[in-house]
Amino acid sequence: MDREQEEMQFVGFFGIFKQSYKIISSSRELFAKITLALILPLSFIYLVHLEVSSLFSRNIILNKLELNHSPPGTAKFEKLSHLISHETVYLWLFNAAYFTLTFILSLLSLAAVVYTTACIYTARELSFNQVISVVPKVWKRLLVTFLCIFVVTFVYFLVFFLVLVACGAVSLVLISCGIPVGLIKIMGAVFLILIILFNVGYFLYLITIWNLACIVTVLEEVYGFAAMVKSKNLIKGKIWLAISITFILSLAGGLNVIAFQRLVVEGSSMAMANRFVYAIICLLLLSTMSLFRLVIETVIFFVCKSYHRENIDKTVLSDHLEVYLQGEYAPLKAKDVQLFHV
């Protein structure tokens, strides 16, 4: 990162991508090893889950359709019932293993990339073995933050569900009273607006805050709900910049998944060799985008810190990162990292 910390606040949309590319290019070999060890397996598991879960779901649906046309009490009916039960159990077990592995690798990948990016920012020499030795020392803090994010997500969805139920109940009462057609259309528009606001609030605003909260957890002394509050405060003034980047990254990842779904999962009419090539391309693209996303989120952290005049002293940050290598984790105090705060 070749900009002075005071100038980071002026880095814009394209500047963040440029800075992220420079960071990765400056330590290409190290990031390649992190990708091969952590991010590539994570991407592989994610794509395999799409393929296998789709296969299980398709078989269960076909068996259920055949079961509906089989007379109860026959041998065929009993066989299909047992087959559906077994496939459903296998699907649940597969999903449990998938979410466990994905959760672990996500924590490790995030810690490794954020730590590496911060070390490059402070011009510290770093090896792959040092990165791997550091990662387990921060996973507990990240675990607490992830669990708090899960709680907030559950509450957010619960509130939205209750609001929809309440609106639906009111609508049914009004319809039973014979309200005009025009008012029914207005109520439908209100439902649509609520759904749009829910998706925008979750997929853009909340996810942006949560991504930054994970960076805060690694580089500062707060974690859990406190990290989310810190993230929310940091992002003020740069909210549209952060949201636009989150949208672009999410869109790119979504298009990659759609391509994999269409060309590999649903491409049964295509030659196996072609499907394999497309799968490799999607895997490499997903791994590359995942690496860039984590580096970009770390750069956004430094941009937000600079915008709020919480400029990090590189020497103190370097000492803080050294603690990871020496032994137990010692959090970086806010009063130590801030050169000045207006």
Render pLDDT for 174-222 as a digit per residue (tens, 0 to 9).
Answer: 777 767 766 767 777 878 888 888 888 888 888 999 999 999 988 887 8
Q: Residue 312 domain-assigned? A: yes
Check residue 229 and give its pLDDT. 92
How high is the mean pLDDT of the chain?
Answer: 83
Above 50 in pLDDT, residue 98? yes
Q: Residue 43 domain-assigned? A: yes
Check residue 338 and give its pLDDT. 47
What are the distances in angstroms from CA 155 to CA 102, 160, 175, 202? 23, 9, 30, 12
Mean pLDDT of 49-77: 83
pLDDT band at 155 (very low <50, low <70, confident <90, very high): very high
More confident residue, 105 or 126: 105
Which range among 61-65, 120-124, 231-235, 289-293 shows the weakest confidence by mean pLDDT? 120-124
Alpha-carbon dihedral angle through residues 243, 245, 251, 254, given to the nearest 10 degrees: -90
- Rounded to whole angstroms, the Cα distance separating 13 from 300 reads 10
What are the distances in angstroms from CA 265 to CA 55, 262, 272, 295, 296? 8, 6, 11, 30, 30
- In the chain, the amino acid numbered 197 is L
Q: Residue 209 domain-assigned? A: no
Beta-bridged to residue 312, according to DSSP, are 338
Q: Residue 124 domain-assigned? A: yes
Q: Residue 258 domain-assigned? A: yes
Check residue 29 and give its pLDDT. 92
Q: Residue 160 domain-assigned? A: no
Q: pLDDT exceeding 90 applies to what percent of the chain? A: 35
More confident residue, 315 or 267: 267
Check residue 118 and give its pLDDT. 85
**Of the candidates 244, 263, 258, which has an alpha carbon nearest to the alpha carbon of residue 286?**
258
Cβ neighbours for 164, distance < 8 A, ≥ 6 positions apart = 191, 194
Cβ(111)–Cβ(135) below 8 Å: yes
pTM: 0.84
| Domain span at 66 | 5-144+239-337
Which range among 26-35, 85-94, 129-138, 235-244 shows the weakest confidence by mean pLDDT? 129-138
Q: What's the maximum distance between 2 C-alpha atoms anywhere in the chain? A: 79
For residue 220, give both structure tokens.
């500062």
Q: Residue 177 domain-assigned? A: no
Above 60 in pLDDT, residue 336? no
Mean pLDDT of 132-144: 82
Domains contained in the chain, number: 1
Check residue 313 and give its pLDDT. 55
For residue 107, give both structure tokens.
């924590």
**Of the candidates 122, 108, 113, 136, which has an alpha carbon nearest to the alpha carbon of residue 324?**
136
Which range among 184-188, 197-201, 292-296, 305-309 shows the weakest confidence by mean pLDDT? 184-188
Q: Residue 186 domain-assigned? A: no
